[in-house]
Amino acid sequence: MTKHTEPFNNAGGSSEKFDCIVVGAGHNGLATALVLAREGRRVLVLEKNNFVGGMGGTREILKGCRNEVGASCLFPLSAEIKHYFDFESHGVELIPLPVMAVNLVGADGRPFVIYKNPLRLSFNLLKTFGLSGMLGFIRMLKFCQYPARVLDRFTARKAPRKLEDLIAEAETPEQRKHLELAFNGSAMDILDKFFPDPVKHRELRASMAFAAVQATYKGPYSPGSGLCLIYTMAQEGSEGLMQRVKGGIGRLSDCLAQQIDALGSEVRLKQNVVKILVENNCAVGVELKNGHRIYADTVISNLDKQATFNRLLEDHSLATAEQQKVDAFSHRGAFVHMLFKLKGLPTYSAHLDKLNSITGAHFGGAMVLDPEQLQQSYESCLRGELPDHIPLAFQIPTVVDSSLAPAGQHIASAYGFYFPCEAEKAKRGKLRDQMAEKIIDHICVHMPDFRSLIVDQAIFSSDHFAVMQGVTNGDWTHGLLHPDQMIGERCLIDGTGHTTPVAGLYLCGASCHPGPGVTFLPGYNCAHEIIAAAAIADATTSTVPVPAARAA
């Protein structure tokens, strides 16, 4: 597969012209490009890094390892997306996870083991948390079903509508109340209904509270945090199971790039786009850092709204209301992401010894806090302070895929929250390093030998994500999962998902509905919106004008 891995320089001086240019080779940008290429468009994808996939990419960070900085697991894909891209027939191998997660809280907490098999999961809930815990979990899942349908996370080729309109159109007062709680209430408003006992249901409350805040800048008692819980628990039929991609999640993007190339379109690496070119309020191409200009009928940005309009379109003014909408989007990266190379597999503590004998129990999960403590950590972050306690998501993917590290070694990763990302910039480096030590300390509560097994490590804060991936404030969600910027509010033009106020310019990334996660839906939907708009334009220009007198 041919990719330019050096800055492209058109020595002859003649301009290049494509049907479509996609800025950013993240998985959504590649999805858009592949759909358009299959429809006969000549597409050029430009990526500033030397790898594809963006925050869903895989590359060597720690020597001899295949590392993921960003997404690491494949969550539910819509049936249409699975059928259209058909990754497995293009060489991608998916690895099932019999144990999808092990969630732990406190040095004396009971492990919450999330099995793939629903019967085994139910039995484990009953055995660990009693009948009330098992029934509470089942009832919580049922509660989430209706608002998840309204959230419409998995529907392809459908423009989203505003949340307030969807709530207002609920058929009964009870349904409206249900949606108000789900979308505008706090996570704990919901969880208290199903897990009311802080002792009996401790681990369930802590696990679900953590699930509700990872893609937000909120605590579990903050209004609006319930929406992220619904988003997290939404499922696509029987596809609501977490899987690993053999060789790392970047294999999905590699697969798309290979198909784009085979269709005669291009993916060029190390091509830093610094400007989207606009003439008469219409996007006509891009300019690279080296000054080279490339033109196209359609330009598609895989960046978030502020990165697109305030950086790449810095010289082009939007109408005041349009600019205010762009600037109103909240972007915060309140996390530290760590990668580890280990000389062996860590062992669970004596308290958790039974996990050492469960196949797959070392794969990963979360090390969480009681909801009250989680809220306190968020409030410390708000004050610009490092929290005393760090909740984290962790993973040791070599448990299921040994190809990711040298023989006999393992890799691990951890996302720690809440990093004080709005602290004074000069202090954030020191805070990051302090938080890294707190993350390792927390892991050692449950895996005491973890620190002694570390051969190498890397630390990334949101500041690194901002530089590496070009995301505003290091926000990997491209717009936090808050009620005022979800579904229809994620769009710039009502009734469309990806159209922008600049003609010929579209957005295809996670800043569009349905938001973050490796779902490919924003990219897929964007391409179809472009195709539909072109069909309408062709039909309009081919229609014979009706004389005014006859029309009257």
Along the chain (552 residues), what's the average pLDDT of each consecutive run of 10 residues? Answer: 49 75 98 98 98 97 97 90 96 95 97 95 97 97 95 92 96 98 98 97 98 97 97 72 93 98 98 98 98 98 98 96 96 97 98 96 97 98 96 98 97 98 95 98 98 98 95 96 96 96 98 95 98 90 50 30
DSSP of 156-221, one letter per residue?
A: SS-----HHHHHHT-SSHHHHHHHHHHHHS-HHHHHHHH---TTTTHHHHHHHHHHTTTTSSS-TT
Sequence-distant (6+) residues with CB within 8 A of 196 are none
Residue with tokens 């500041």: 463
**Alpha-carbon distance values, 210 to 81, 104, 225, 374, 417 (Å):** 28, 11, 10, 8, 10
Q: Which domain holds residue 491?
A: 16-59+248-328+480-542
Does residue 70 fall inside a structural domain? no
394 and 512 housed in the same domain? no
pLDDT score of 549: 36
347 and 313 housed in the same domain? no
405 in Cβ contact with 64 (< 8 Å): yes
214 and 103 housed in the same domain? yes
Quick count: other Cβ atoms within 10 Å of Cβ 350? 8
Sequence-distant (6+) residues with CB within 8 A of 402 are none
338 and 238 housed in the same domain? yes
Strand partners, 368: 105
pLDDT score of 15: 76
Does residue 551 fall inside a structural domain? no
Integer Cα distance of 305 and 308 in angstroms: 5
Phi, psi of 362 (to 5 degrees): -85, -5
225 and 264 housed in the same domain? no
State the Cα torsion 530-533-537-542 to the nearest 10°.
Answer: 100
pLDDT score of 75: 85
Q: DSSP 3-state assignment of 508?
A: coil
417 and 493 housed in the same domain? no
**Alpha-carbon distance values, 488 to 167, 228, 305, 492, 504 (Å):** 12, 16, 15, 9, 21
200 in Cβ contact with 109 (< 8 Å): no
98 and 238 housed in the same domain? yes
146 and 240 housed in the same domain? yes
Q: Give buried/exposed letters for 362-394 (b at 16+ CB in 10 A, else e).
A: bbbbbbbbbbbbbbbbbebbeeeebbebbbbbb
Residue in 427, 300, 385, 404 with CA at minimum distance from that of residue 342? 404
Does residue 380 fall inside a structural domain? yes
- Helix (H) / strand (E) containing 10: none
Looking up residue 311, the CATH number of its domain turns out to be 3.50.50.60
Which of 433, 468, 503 terminates a domain? The answer is 468
Phi, psi of 538 (to 5 degrees): -65, -40
108 and 171 housed in the same domain? yes
Does residue 76 fall inside a structural domain? no
Residue in 509, 516, 512 with CA at minimum distance from that of residue 26? 509
Does residue 262 fall inside a structural domain? yes
- Say how far residue 237 (Cα) sits from the centre of its chain: 20
Tell me the one-letter amino acid at 72. S
Quick count: other Cβ atoms within 10 Å of Cβ 83? 9
Instruction: Tell me if the bond preceding 196 is cis, omega within 30° of 0.
Output: no
Integer Cα distance of 203 and 209 in angstroms: 10
440 in Cβ contact with 428 (< 8 Å): no
Which of 468, 499, 529 terminates a domain? The answer is 468
116 and 178 housed in the same domain? yes
DSSP of 287-312, one letter per residue?
A: EETTS-EEEEEEEEE-S-HHHIIIII
Residue in 363, 362, 398, 385 with CA at minimum distance from that of residue 438? 385
275 in Cβ contact with 293 (< 8 Å): no
**Alpha-carbon distance values, 258 to 60, 87, 537 (Å):** 20, 12, 31
pLDDT score of 538: 85
Does residue 475 fall inside a structural domain? no
Residue 466, Ramachandran bin (φ over 0: left; ψ between -120 and 50: alpha; else beta): alpha
Which of 439, 468, 497 terminates a domain? The answer is 468
Does residue 122 fall inside a structural domain? yes
Looking up residue 149, the CATH number of its domain turns out to be 3.90.660
* Structural domain total, the chain: 2
98 and 239 housed in the same domain? yes
Tokens representing 453 are 């097994």
Does residue 254 fall inside a structural domain? yes
- Say how far residue 89 (Cα) sits from the centre of its chain: 25
392 and 322 housed in the same domain? no
Tokens representing 293 are 């200009």
